[in-house]
Amino acid sequence: MIVLIIQLLILILVILSTLLVIGIPVTLASPGQWEKSKNLIYTSIGIWVGLIVITTIINSFII
């Protein structure tokens, strides 16, 4: 059960990482988009960091 949870967390992490790797440079390169999208980007980065921490904590229970 715990392995399934970790696999889902990692899948979400990979998808979010891919979106951030594509989305942040596009946002920074587009004129005027940074002001509109910075809250969304900061929120996404916070969720990404949270996923890393949660995955690490749950993974520590598996030996």
Range of the structural domain that residue 42 is part of: 2-59
The maximal CA–CA distance of the chain, rounded, in angstroms, is 49
- Contact (CB, 8 A) for 52 and 13: yes
Cβ-contact 58, 5 below 8 angstroms:
yes
Encode pLDDT of 2-61 as tens digits.
899 999 999 999 999 999 999 999 999 999 998 999 999 999 999 999 999 999 999 998
Q: How far apart are CA 38 and CA 44, in angstroms?
A: 10
**Cα 18 from Cα 63, distance rounded (Å):** 29
Domains of the chain: total: 1
Residue 1 — very low, low, confident or very high, per pLDDT cuts 50/70/90? confident
Which residue blocks in the chain are alpha helix, DSSP H?
2-29, 33-59
Q: What is the pTM of this model?
A: 0.86
The CATH number linked to 44 is 1.10.287.740
